[in-house]
Amino acid sequence: MVSVATLLLLRHGRTTANADGGLAGRQPVELDDTGRAQATAVGQRLRAVPLAAVVTSPLIRCRQTLELALPEASPVVEEGLIECGYGTWEGQPLKKLAKEPLWPVVQQHPSAAVFPEGEAMAAMAARAVAAVRSWDARVTAEHGPEAVWLACSHGDVIKAIVADALGVHLDLFQRIVADPASVTAIRYTPVRPFLLRLNDTGGDLAGLVPPPRKRRRRAARAADSDAAVGGGAGAAR
């Protein structure tokens, strides 16, 4: 199996909009006190993980999260990780938006949802997936298959990336959860991606660092022909 880098998807910490039940979208909302505490806490968990690269959505809530979680990092802004463009929905209470005719489409058939004066959810998913796959290939090429890198983004963006990794249609992505300051881990291979962690808000992250590769023997042992074809995370190493 070909070894590849490991991607950690970090959602920003809780914001004032999250607390108030509003749809922030691309507005410059900032972390609240809970969000700042979440960012600091996830930083403690990430200390055990050597990161080859850190990239981020350009929005301030993601940059604030990384400033608190990884103060020594120098994140690179990646426009492909920006929040979905919700158009005229931005800044409105979710309880009000739930009464809009578009709301059930967003929840049940998001691949067909296009926000008024905004972005299509399918377009958001496509550019987010393209961004992380491009960065993953770049990190693997520059830092090797044992590398781990991190991308800080938003709930819907992360859910769309996870749906792609699982090979499920975008219309199912609302079944996926990405809480504030959660970590999701994906390892891409030339054959298929592997979802290693999902919505992890308290687990030990050190185990996500791949062990150094052992030199492969020139001649495969006869027993190797009986190896199971499985989908475990070890198969990606």
Residue 237 has pLDDT above 60, yes or no: no
pLDDT number for residue 209: 87
Q: Assess contact for 182 and 228: CB atoms under 8 A.
A: no
Closest alpha carbon to 183 in 49, 53, 22, 18:
49
Rounded to an integer, the average pLDDT of 179-186 is 98
Rounded to an integer, the average pLDDT of 219-225 is 41
The secondary element (H helix, E strand) that includes residue 19 is helix 16-20
Instruction: Encode burial over 123-146: b for 16+ CB neighbours within 10 A, e otherwise.
Output: ebbebbbebbbebbeebbeebebb
- Distance, in Å, from the CA atom of 38 to the CA atom of 41, rounded to the nearest integer, reads 5
Residue position matching structure tokens 């910490």: 13
13-17, 98-102, 225-229: range with lowest mean pLDDT: 225-229
Per-residue pLDDT tens digits for 77-96: 999 999 999 999 999 999 99
SS3 category, 224:
helix
**Residue 31: CA count within 13 A, CB half-sphere:** 25
Residue 223 has pLDDT above 50, yes or no: no
Closest alpha carbon to 39 in 152, 190, 136, 187:
152
Per-residue pLDDT tens digits for 97-118: 999 999 999 999 999 999 999 9
User: Rounded to a whole number, what is the largest CA-CA distance in the chain?
Assistant: 65
Instruction: Encode burial over 179-204: b for 16+ CB neighbours within 10 A, e otherwise.
Output: ebbbbbbbbbeeeebbebbbbbeeee
- Distance, in Å, from the CA atom of 70 to the CA atom of 64, rounded to the nearest integer, reads 10
pLDDT number for residue 86: 98
Please give the single-letter amino acid code of residue 118.
Answer: G
Q: Give this prediction's pTM.
A: 0.88
Confidence of residue 40 (pLDDT cuts 50, 70, 90): very high
Q: What is the DSSP secondary-structure string of 77-120?
A: E-GGGSPP--GGGTTSBHHHHTTSTTHHHHHH-GGG-B-TTS-B
- Distance, in Å, from the CA atom of 155 to the CA atom of 163, rounded to the nearest integer, reads 12
